[in-house]
Amino acid sequence: MRELTGVGGLIRLILRRDRVLTPLWVLFVGLVPVSYVAAIDGLFPTEAGRRAYAAASGHNGGFVALYGPLHGSSLGELVAWRAGFIPIVIGLFSILTVIRHTRTEEEAGRRELLGSTVMGRHAGLAAALAVTMAADLVLGAILAGGLVGQGLPATGSWALGLGFAACGWVYAAVAAVAAQLTGGAGGARGIAIGLLGATFVLRVTGDLSGLSSDGTLTWASWLSPIGWAHRVRPYAGEAWWPLALAAGVAALLVAVAVALSARRDIGAGLLPQRLGPASAGAGLRSPLGLAWRLHRSLLAGWTAGFLALGVVLGYLAEGIGDLVRDAPAMSDIMIRIGGVRGLVDSYFSGLVALFGLLAAGYAIQATLRAREEESSGRAEPVLGTAVGRVRWAAGHLAFSLLGPAVALAAAGLAMGLTHGLNTGDVGRELPRVLGAAMVQLPAVWVLGAVAVLLFGLLPRLAAVSWGALAICLLIGLVGPALRVDKRLLEVSPFTHLPRLPGGPMNVTPLLWLAVVAAVLAGAGLAALRRRDIPAA
Amino acid sequence: MTDAISASGLVKTLGPTRALDGLDLTVRTGEVHGFLGPNGAGKSTTLRVLLGMMRADAGTALLLGGDPWAEATELHRRLAYVPGDVTLWPQLSGGEVIDLLGRMRGGLNKQRRAELLERFDLDPRKKGRAYSKGNRQKVALVAALASDVELLLLDEPTSGLDPLMEEVFRDAIREEKRRGDRTVLLSSHILAEVEALCDRLTIIRDGRAVETGTLDELRHLTRTTIDAELTAPADGLAALPGVHDLRAGEGRVRFDVEAAALEPVLRELAAAGVRSLVSRPPTLEELFLRHYDRSGAAAAEEKVSR
């Protein structure tokens, strides 16, 4: 136990530092699904209504990709299904928290400061894991308690809450392992989030394959901790053993992390540090050249992720059509949404909207890199040379503008190509799907421009731009189903985009969105020119 | 010749604190100017104002004959800056950072770069996160010293350097000085460094310059310590104006005397009969501490806490 000396103090330190963020987050994410109960009950008060909704949505590839498989049509099942995206959010939170309190601390040298006091070797890792896993559990308990309070069966509610918490545990443990591998927090975060993305793709692959007629890839969902959370089957004859599977894998990963941590030095990673070149290449001579070096791995990661997801989703599109052709019972709904073509089109238009929201996340992330450069002090030596502020910022903005364009193009190309190869008509499908993906761009830019505006005007609140994305996400995912006021929906730039493929193309809103983005970004840059750097 | 830097009445408020409170600073072209003050006195803020990164709330500043805020980009071609807290990009090697900063400034002297790397014993192939604090400082120093610029702005450049490297740094600055056309503004709280390198210096306290001039001039303004062995007691000493901290006993006296009062004091001593006499000008450290001693509560507190 000597290895854990001081863990109590560290836990208190983490709780003190996160005393605002963590409770807010746990409460918010825990209560969002609780709000679904009243919403869905209000929309579909009758058994028949719910069954029709379940039949239509449970076979919609876009929805299944996002939320997971839907089996029954009880109120509880619909709520649990609708909350199916939340395990990813919990996983992301768990990863970020663990890395922040392990690797980031080490990188900043604070770990060393604490390590010289009476503290065991594994105390830091143990404290970060303890806090994160406890937060996951509290989140699950709030969720379960809330759902029981709304009148849903207790067994199913606890299955849902514990399934989500266990999913968080697995990713917390994944992050603990990743934190031992690399020499820096950025690398560790990249590995863990990359794995989260990969397991999401596996789950989507398996679940969508389960929709299509052959179902040969259904097993892929079983490789994903997100899939395990769904397979606890809340309210639908709960299966408890996926919980044990998740807890077991988490325990195993924690053991691996502890073993790795014992074998490495502080500040070092297990993956070897490579030496760089002794002098700079010809391209590294401007803010843009610097930005390329800082952004290229981020760009590569997003593009590769979009490409992989695009290949899988494009490949599965034709299967959606098959399913409807094989099931005459579905013909009603089918005719309503415009036949098999219409169904596939709505599948794609749902997916490109999702890609658009993700790409907006990338745009914000890339923009906030400039803020990170400022607050870490790395902007100062650059601005001390003959580089003006706007030129410095423009290097980063080039990537927040064009990066999402590249990623969206990758997704559109991959989906269009694989689907076109399936139907044997690449010439028709490729431009349609690619175009639909690229149409998202002006809305993506608006969100990136919100980040630029905040960065210029209120730099310390720049991270609030994630809130803008969260609002758009909420409006996009929940809004239409919940019959929210139309004016509220129009807050999100994504609401104004033409529904492609299938819908009528309209250039006017795209131009307007581009103008709004340009004005916001221009105002942000103007404010940047006038303010102090670093901002007080 | 115009001054490389002339600032007067600079005021800058950062949140609740008044970081600069009417600061005056003049740096003559070709000199090495020490900018002396404890942590938090406003040294870094002054440099940031002079670099056009922060805009002063009041006062005027002229840098190399231009407005540091409006003409920042053009002026920066003619200067090099080493920030007080150097952070590097984790994914870039030290050599890449040196070249990048040099190129963005408008050019780098390749031969000088190689020579400085050698002298500072710095491996340019290591990635940013692998460097220790001292080595990060060296990267920024090599980048600044290897560029042909008129003005060097150095913010506590030797923090984190070991004594050996500190000597290398001093040699490098002395070389700059010998070339005659370079101006250096060296902010520091290391008195020996300023004493060894600087032609003139400015002492700053609470965002205001409290003393400026050559070391000799500053010494002249303050007291000399005298330690004398006398044949007879010099009873008149205590009554003389400008004598402080007098301690006498067993034929010895020890006291501080203001420069203006030296002559009557020496006469008094001579009258008493001097067996031996040691007179010591104030060290910069004494000079510095004296300023902070008089500054009231904050400085007094600092002293107590040590």
List pLDDT tens digits, range B192-249.
Answer: 888 889 999 999 988 999 889 998 887 776 778 889 998 888 888 888 888 888 888 8
Residue B281 CB-half CA count within 13 A: 10
Looking at residue A394, what is its pLDDT? 96
From chain A, the residues in CB contact with B147 under 8 A are none
* SS (HEC) of B79-90: EEEECCCCCCCC
Residue listed under structure tokens 């854990």: A4
Q: Are strands B274-280 and B223-230 parallel, antiparallel or unpaired?
A: antiparallel
Residue B107 — pLDDT band, cuts 50, 70, 90? confident
Residue type, position B257, single letter: V
SS3 content of chain B, % helix, strand, coil (to 5): 40, 30, 30
Question: Are A381 and B76 an interchain contact pair (Cβ–Cβ within 8 Å)?
Answer: no
Q: Is the pLDDT of residue B276 over 80?
A: yes
| Among candidate residues A190, A378, A301, A288, the one with its CA nearest the CA of residue B90 | A378
Looking at residue B191, what is its pLDDT? 79
Rounded to a whole number of angstroms, the distance between the first and last alpha carbons of chain A is 44
Looking at residue A337, what is its pLDDT? 56
Task: Spell out which chain A residues touch chain B, with contact meaning CB-CB distance below 8 angstroms.
Answer: 107, 183-184, 186, 273-281, 284-287, 289-290, 293-294, 297, 376-378, 380-388, 530, 532-534, 536
Q: Is the pLDDT of residue B143 over 80?
A: yes
Which residues share a beta bridge with A383? Answer: none
Cβ neighbour number for residue A355 with a 10 Å cutoff: 25
In angstroms, the CA A224 to CA B191 distance is 62
In terms of CA atoms, which chain B residue is nearest residue A374? B87
**Span B13-21, average pLDDT:** 91
Question: If you compute the radius of gyration of chain B from its CA atoms, what whole number of angstroms results?
Answer: 23
In angstroms, the CA A318 to CA A297 distance is 33
Query: Please, which residues 212-271 of chain B have a Cβ atom closer than 8 Å to chain A?
Result: none
DSSP H helical ranges for A5-46: 7-17, 21-43
pTM (two decimals): 0.80
Looking at residue A66, what is its pLDDT? 78
In angstroms, the CA A39 to CA A36 distance is 5
**Span B262-282, average pLDDT:** 87
Looking at residue A479, what is its pLDDT? 65
A504 secondary structure, DSSP code:
P
In angstroms, the CA A202 to CA A196 distance is 10
By the 8 A CB rule, do A140 and A34 touch?
no
Q: Are strands B252-258 and B223-230 parallel, antiparallel or unpaired?
A: antiparallel
Looking at residue B48, what is its pLDDT? 94
Q: Is the pLDDT of residue B160 over 70?
A: yes
Q: Which residues of chain A have pLDDT under 50?
A: none
CA distances in angstroms from A114 to A118, A235, B232, listed in the order given: 8, 47, 62
From chain B, the residues in CB contact with A265 under 8 A are none
Q: Is the pLDDT of residue B298 over 60?
A: no
Query: Smallest Cβ distance to A278: which of B48, B51, B95?
Result: B95
In angstroms, the CA B276 to CA A167 distance is 85
Long-range contacts from B189-197, C-beta under 8 angstroms, 24+ separation? B189/B36, B189/B37, B189/B38, B189/B39, B189/B156, B190/B158, B191/B36, B191/B283, B191/B284, B191/B285, B191/B288, B192/B284, B193/B158, B193/B166, B194/B34, B194/B36, B194/B284, B195/B283, B195/B284, B196/B170, B197/B32, B197/B34, B197/B170, B197/B173
Give the containing element (helix H, strand E) for B213: strand B208-214
Please provide residue B124's backbone torsions phi and psi, each rounded to the nearest 5 degrees. Answer: -75, 0
- For the segment A129-150, what is each residue's pLDDT rounded down to a tens digit? 999 999 999 999 999 999 999 9
Looking at residue B234, what is its pLDDT? 81
Instruction: Enter the ipTM.
Output: 0.82
Query: Smallest Cβ distance to B125: which of A277, A289, A385?
Result: A277
From chain A, the residues in CB contact with B77 under 8 A are 386
In angstroms, the CA B13 to CA B17 distance is 6
In angstroms, the CA B81 to CA B50 distance is 11
Q: Which two tokens stand for residue A228?
A: 């395990």
From chain B, the residues in CB contact with A274 under 8 A are 127
Query: Smallest Cβ distance to B53: which of A284, A290, A532?
Result: A532
Looking at residue A482, what is its pLDDT? 63
| Among candidate residues A127, A124, A122, A228, the one with its CA nearest the CA of residue A171 | A228
Looking at residue A248, what is its pLDDT? 96
